[in-house]
Structure 1
Amino acid sequence: MRLCDVTSNQTGPLIGGTFGLIFIQANAGDLPSAIAIPLRALGAAAFLGLLAALRRAPAPRTTGTPQRTFGRGYWLVVAAEVIAAAAGFFVIISVLHAPHATVGWIALVVGVHFFGLAAVWRMAALRLLAAGMSLCGAAGLVLAACGSSPAVIAAVAGIAPGALLLASVWRSALAKPALQDTPA
């Protein structure tokens, strides 16, 4: 799939799948090699399979359902996400001196941003992903505060959210186009 061949309905799943892969690849390094290598391979295979599925997906039908747009609402959600992430990083690293908690913060902020996208795109299904990722992030922050190992934090707040993102995108890629978007 060439980037210029991506339709607007494929852009969201492509972004989500990319970040799911990044979550897994970035956090697998904290796990033992015997677990990290297969996880990284599975994440890459899931992403490559997603690319193939998106390429084969039929063109969306115009049924009057809301289309995902990257307009003002989307950019406001992303701006809030970036500001929250930066502020949290500053506090976590400079004030609390707890860089091991950043993965939990990232998952929490990304999860909360999906609540905003669910509202902007009128996609109720995104709320489930938002809740799952937010819970993983919050659990990662609690684990970091309790002094858990980097591997445990990475698994809960990095690998699990990456898997949730990839699974969510796969679900939408396999769904019938008219059933993908539901009223919020």
Structure 2
Amino acid sequence: MRGKRIGALIGALGGLLFVLINTGAFPVQFAVPVRGLGTLAFVFVLWRTVLRPPPQTIAETPPSPTARRVYWNCVLAGALSIPIGANLLNRVLPLPQLTVLWVIFVVGARFLPFTRAFAAPVFKPLAWVLMGLAATGAALTLTVWPAAPGSIAVLAGFALLGFSASGTVKRSGLLLD
């Protein structure tokens, strides 16, 4: 259960950061309530995972050495690909507005190997949602909506918060499978 709580907290923190950082371009009358909603979602995940964790019904087995290797390889790949891609977008392709979308895409892509390594199918839809948002945002930015990256990043933040919250809600019995 500890690993699931840590994963939910990491996802929720990443989601909150996406929301807080990227609402800066929003008009104040929208930014404040969106930030408030993101903060409430984060507090909910925090409450469900740390302050009131669900009862442990099944002993959690520690990740296998293979799963740990997959995790750290994904962390390393993300740590390398984010700055390399950002540098490419900023200096070579002059498309700095796409940098946040690149970050969202990489974050999403990192979740795909986790599905199999940790036998956790929840990672697959999260990965595809984030990668789909990034691709959609890039297409919109380059064609009809130059301001799309900030809004897409906020949506990605709420996707991370939602997946983090849904795991804590489902495990607590508040949702039926």
TM-score, normalised relative to structure 2: 0.86
1:8 aligns with 2:10: no
- Are the equivalent residues in 1 in contact too, given 2:54–2:168 (CA < 8 A)? no
What SS does the corresponding residue of 1:122 show, helix, strand or coil? coil
- 1:77 equivalent to 2:66? Answer no
Instruction: Pick one of 35, 41, 54 that aligns with 1:58.
Output: 54
Structure 1 unmatched runs, 5+: 1-5, 179-184
Aligned to 2:99: 102
Equivalent AA in structure 1 for residue 15 of structure 2: G
2:150 corresponds in structure 1 to: 154
Q: Which residue of 1 aligns with 2:35?
A: 40
In the alignment, structure 1 residue 133 sits paired with structure 2 residue 107: no
Amino acid at match of 2:133: C
Instruction: State the AA in 2 paired with 1:124.
Output: P
- CA–CA distance in structure 2, aligned partners of residues 109 and 62 of structure 1: 32
Q: Shift of the alpha carbon at 1:68?
A: 5.4
- Rounded to whole Å, the distance in 1 between the matches of 2:141 and 2:102 is 10
Counterpart of 1:22 in structure 2 is 17
Q: Percent identity?
A: 26
1:172/1:31 CA distance change after superposition, 3 Å: same
Aligned Cα root-mean-square deviation (Å): 2.2
Q: Which whole-Å CA distance do the structure 2 matches of 1:91 and 1:72 have between them?
A: 28
Alpha-carbon distance, 1:114 to partner: 1.0
Does the alignment pair 1:122 with 2:119? yes
Q: Does residue 89 of structure 2 align to residue 88 of structure 1?
A: no
Q: Which amino acid aligns with 1:76?
A: N
